[in-house]
Amino acid sequence: MFLCSVAAAISRRPQSRSMVASAFAFSTKSTTTRYAGSVDRSTRLFSTESAAPEEKTEEEKAAIKAVREERKAEKERQKAEKAAKKAIKAAAEEEANRIHPVTYLSASEQDSYEPYGDMATIMSRGQSGRNFARVTDIGGGEDAKHGPESTVWLRGRISSIRVKGGSCFLVLRQDSFDTVQACFFKDKENPEQSAKMIKYLKSLTVESVVDLEGTVAPAEVRSCSIKDAELVLSRIHSVSNAASQLPFLVEDAARSEADVEASQGTDRPFPRLGQELRLDNRWLDLRAPANNAILRVQSAICQLFREALYARGFVEIHTPKLIAGESESGAGVFTTDYFGTTACLAQSPQLYKQMAVASDFDKVFEIGPVFRAENSNTRRHLCEFTGLDLEMTIVEHYSETLDVVHAMFKHIFEGLETRWARELEVIREQYDSEPATITDEPCVMHWPEAMEILEGKGFDMGDKLNDLTGAQELALGAAVKEKYGTDFFMLDKYPSSIRPFYTMPDPEDARYSNSYDMFIRGQEICSGAQRCHDPDMVTQILNDKGIEIGDGLKSYVESFRHGVSPHAGAGIGLERVVFLYLGLDNVRKASMFPRDPNRCTP
């Protein structure tokens, strides 16, 4: 092709043809001379008289360049064609191995769906008719709701997964502490589909939410709550994928402090998770079985509280949380703008509980938020907590209220140990505690007796009119446990100077009051009193304490001027009850998303 192009270029110019003829003649002459031997070889090679090659014309150069470019283009074309064929082949292989999202529109058509792959985002397209089971209903015995040979659908989290070769073992978790093992083994009769299933299983991450279908088979599984059965996996689809890198593992959050401490001297010590890391990722921390069960116990206490009071004719009320002034003297208050005026977040429902009694609701209770703007960073204080409050009319003595509150706590303690035994068992595997003891009748200690006990323990009680310190409360609790055999007791007749303005004074000695606190394991969980229902007496106490009667208190006092029955009540901190009953080391463990001076998120 190259010679033809050059020849064509030359043939278009006459002078080029003569140049070629001359070159041919010269070449013939040189050849003849060489064979004749008339010229010395060395002279011929180095002769300066030899003619220099004639320079190519621009047209010839262009022709040569065009040929080179054409040759290069041809090579590029062949290379591109080869690459395209390779890409087509790779795309075909990728498409053949691709695992597509699955949308379950009908359970009757599921055989036409791939048995693996992420579930298309659930957007309420419809209901497929799949029947999902609970892990707790699966078992290896014939008496199980879903026994051997049963095929079931389950939804839960992947607690752990291990894929090796042609097999996979995973643990599915429901409700934080119900677990069952599922397994998959390569099918020799369907190797292609098995390979895809293994590939998909390898892509799944711990804590992902999945739907899986499997057949129940008897098995011995020590590491799961279902110990006599497992599922032979036939289908699995991720409903929500968890990130491959989590802030911490749930299994690390579920270890007891004793286990973590014991591992520190080994080759593989368990990580010690700090409180702030846990609280920053509280939703993950609450997946740990014990932490999850703590919140279930919190719910149980609210249920049992309601049960006990409904049984005694109480009415549940809901009081305002935005109020015009402080509801508790001496306690920090959060303020906010209220259309140009200043409002407070309620420190308790106290004033409104009493006004409910003035409204002829003889027995009322409330479960609601309480706000305290106290810059206290202890293990038992929160800036927001849930209050369990009650108020009731009395006929003659506040002991009537003590009887009701004691019976209520007894109902709570006994209900937890019997009806929520499983949750308590899970909690106590990580956080050690014993059931709180409580007497059949109220155990009430009077202030003078408490002072005598504490002085006997070596405490300087001074004039005996100051509030108890934490150390004194613990010492008193230990003494009561030793003397009366109970973890729960009441202490009444507190000094008036350390109680709120609405507390009724002691009729015999105004230095003391008809007030009381209640304790679990030597720490206070409840505060209450007979309320001062006489409007003139309340006004005098307010003046003595230097408290201005603002708009909020004006309505409160006015309600008494219209007639009100004598009454008493109590306020209980829900998180503190949970914290102390379960023997936890910090009240934040008893709050879903705790609020303290340094934390307002998440």
**Tokens (6 digits) for 484:** 């009366």
Cα separation, 113 vs 98, in Å, equals: 14
Helix (H, G, I), strand (E, B) or coil at 468: coil
Burial string for 579-593 (b: 16+ CB within 10 Å, else e) reads bbbbebeebbbbbee
DSSP secondary structure code for residue 467 in this structure: P
Active-site annotation holder among 381, 411, 595, 599: 381
Catalytic annotation present for 381: yes
Q: Considering 60, 374, 400, 429, which one is annotated as catalytic?
A: 374
* CA–CA distance, 225 with 222 (Å, rounded to integer): 8
| Active-site residue, selected from the candidate residues 380, 521, 531, 567 | 380
Residue 420 vs residues 39, 301, 412: alpha-carbon distances, Å: 122, 10, 11
Amino acid identity at 185:
F
Say whether 379 is catalytic: no
Identity of residue 549: I
* CB contact at 8 A, 366 and 350: no
> Other C-beta atoms within 10 Å of 470: how many?
12
Rounded to an integer, what distance in angstroms lies between the CA atom of residue 250 and that of residue 206?
A: 9
Q: Which two tokens stand for residue 35?
A: 């064979």
In the residue annotation, 527 being an active-site residue is answered as yes
Clarify whether 312 is annotated catalytic.
no
Residue type, 192: E
Token pair for 369: 């938020």
Residue 230 falls in the annotated catalytic set:
no
| 240 catalytic residue (yes or no) | no
Q: Give how far the C-alpha of residue 484 lies from the chain's centroid of Cα atoms, to the nearest Å.
A: 42
| CA 586 – CA 278 distance, rounded (Å) | 13
Beta strands in 5-147 (DSSP E): none
Tell me the HSE value of 24 on the side-chain side, using a 13 A CA sphere. Answer: 6
* Catalytic residue from among 207, 328, 524, 575: 524
User: Are the CB atoms for 210 and 238 separated by under 8 Å?
Assistant: yes
- Catalytic residue, chosen from 238, 348, 513, 527, is 527
Q: Please tell me which residue in 157, 533, 576, 588 is annotated as part of the active site.
A: 576
CA-CA distance, 436 to 301, in Å (whole number)?
14
30 is catalytic: no
- Residues with a catalytic annotation lie at 372, 374, 380-381, 524, 527, 576
